[in-house]
Amino acid sequence: MGSNPLSALTSTKPTALPTQDQDDQDSPSSKALLSFSTDSSDSSSPSSSSSSHKALFIILIFITCIALSTSFAFAFLYFSSNPPTPSISSLLARPLSKLNRPVVLLVSSDGFRFGYQFKVPTPHISRLIANGTEAEAGLIPVFPSLTFPNHYSIATGLYPAYHGIINNHFSDPVSGEAFYMGSHDPKWWLGEPLWETVVNNGLKAATYFWPGSEVKKGLWTCPFNYCRQYNASVSFEERVDTVLGYFDLPDDQIPDFMTLYFEDPDHQGHKVGADDPEITEAVARIDTMMGRLIRGLEQRGVFDDVSIIMVGDHGMVGTCDKKLIFLDDLAPWIDVQKDWVVTHTPVLAIRPPSGHDATDVVAKMNEGLSSGKVQNGKFLKVYLKENLPSRLHYAASDRIAPIIGLIEEGFKVEQQRTKRQECGGSHGYDNAVFSMRTIFIGHGPQFARGKKIPSFENVEIYNLVTSILKIKGAANNGSSSFAESVLLSSA
């Protein structure tokens, strides 16, 4: 592509200087060019002529050194700002050596905040990064940056308003029925998750503890031994070994798509925040599990064939009771009843009863919050859901309450004052907050080695997986061009 960058140096390449032996063999006319004197009547002695030639030779050597130094400097600047055009072979996916078809293993480390990989040596995660593709400033979760909405967005490529899991807990506004994290009725789970897409395309899928994977949808029946019901007591080692066992099956029975889920370091983060030694230990343990996975794949000769995509669902930030906002403090402006509130923190969701205009409720709440008379009131802003920033994509569902409050990073909303004093960690805040970012690492035949890509929202991952597997995906909120910009071309 373009002209050869080396051609730019041709015009500055110095010509070779003649040696002293060559000078002695030069013709009279060429010797005259090296003389300082053009006066033919001046009869110089041989010694003076030799001295002048030596002086001129030294000057020419000096000029040549300057020219060479300039050329090297120019070349360095040119190639540092204009790297050589990659060869065609380096842009192509690496061929499979043992597997007969692409296989994707999607691994989630819950609550793995971007930057945790620097808290402790992580040789195995670092190996995946060095030999794969990484989101250089982290993966952006969807809003709200909570576990179930984000895991299901990764699986479907849809924002929560479209896949239906708008929070970890919520209620249906018509039936009043409550959704909780153990709800497996398909009426809650909209969209088409990857495991369903895979089987719809005649391929095989296996899931290990991915939110929503236990739900029977379409052709996906959560098959025995290929779909694990969530059980937190199952050791991480057993989870890894079970996934590795799939690669011991006959070639035509190896699942084309697999998921693997770890609760850590989210579990520790909620207890101690993002900067405690417990987090360091949890991150080290996750790295150990990735090492166990890599070794197992290497022993089976398939490590370089498998596309490993390692992600988190959200980040984590420290919280403390000094960062509280109490709804009861708004009483001079409006009495926000407890039964109006669907969720308090980290997303304030309010569904006022009939007879209370939502617009009026929002206006009065914001008046009180901005008055300077409500403790920490400036750290909460309340919206009609249709007036939320459009980048949040959090309006197009009746399951979303009509009033949503955005809480500043690290703050919490409670109904009334208590004597409870606690510190810990939380997530769920605006996905523009950097502490909510998590990790994305892609390693495998179609991921370039050592490549850094800009941060992106996790709804793009669905199309990434379907592109690797070369299958047709369902409609989603990701961009069709994203996979092309990240993956190496197929040969």
For 419, residues 6+ apart whose C-beta sits below 8 A from its C-beta are none
Q: Do residues 299 and 248 make contact, with C-beta atoms less than 8 angstroms apart?
A: no
In angstroms, rounded to a whole number, what is the distance separating the alpha carbons of residues 107 and 210?
9
- Please tell me whether residue 104 adopts helix, strand or coil conformation: strand
Asked: is 94-318+432-490 a CATH 3.90.1150.110 domain? The reply is no
Contacts for 224 with CB less than 8 Å, ≥ 6 apart: none
Phi, psi of 153 (to 5 degrees): -70, -40
234-279 pLDDT, tens digit per residue, is: 999 999 999 999 999 999 999 999 999 999 999 999 999 999 999 9
- Residue 490 confidence (pLDDT): 82
Active site residues: 147
pLDDT reported for residue 3: 37
Domain with CATH 3.30.1360.180 in the chain: 324-422
- Per the structure block, which two tokens stand in for 160? 């929560």
DSSP 349-368: EE-PPTTS-HHHHHHHHHHH
Domain(s) labelled CATH 3.40.720.10 in the chain stretch across: 94-318+432-490
CA dihedral sign of residues 277, 282, 288, 290: negative
Instruction: Residue 361: count other Cβ atoms within 10 Å of its Cβ.
Output: 19
Give the C-alpha distances (Å, rounded to integers) separating 474 from 143, 217, 266.
Answer: 22, 14, 30
Q: Are the C-beta atoms of residues 236 and 263 closer than 8 Å to each other? A: no
Report the run of H or E that residue 413 belongs to, with start and end: strand 412-414
Give the gyration radius of the chain's Cα atoms. 33
Q: Which of 93, 91, 98, 104 is nearest to 471 (CA)?
A: 104
What is the per-residue burial (b if ≥16 Cβ within 10 Å, else e) of 108-133?
bbbbbbbbbbebeebebbebbbeebb
Give the list of residues 6+ apart from residue 188 with CB closer than 8 angstroms, or none. 164, 165, 179, 215
d(CA 266, CA 315): 8
Query: What residue type is 318 in one-letter code?
Result: G
Strand 380-384 relative to strand 403-407, pairing: antiparallel
φ/ψ of 347, rounded to 5, equals: -120, 120
Residues of the chain with pLDDT under 70: 1-90, 491
3-state secondary structure of 198: helix
> Cα(281)–Cα(293) distance, rounded to whole angstroms?
19
State whether CATH 3.40.50.2300 applies to domain 324-422.
no
Let me know: does 170 contact 342? Beta carbons within 8 Å. Answer: yes
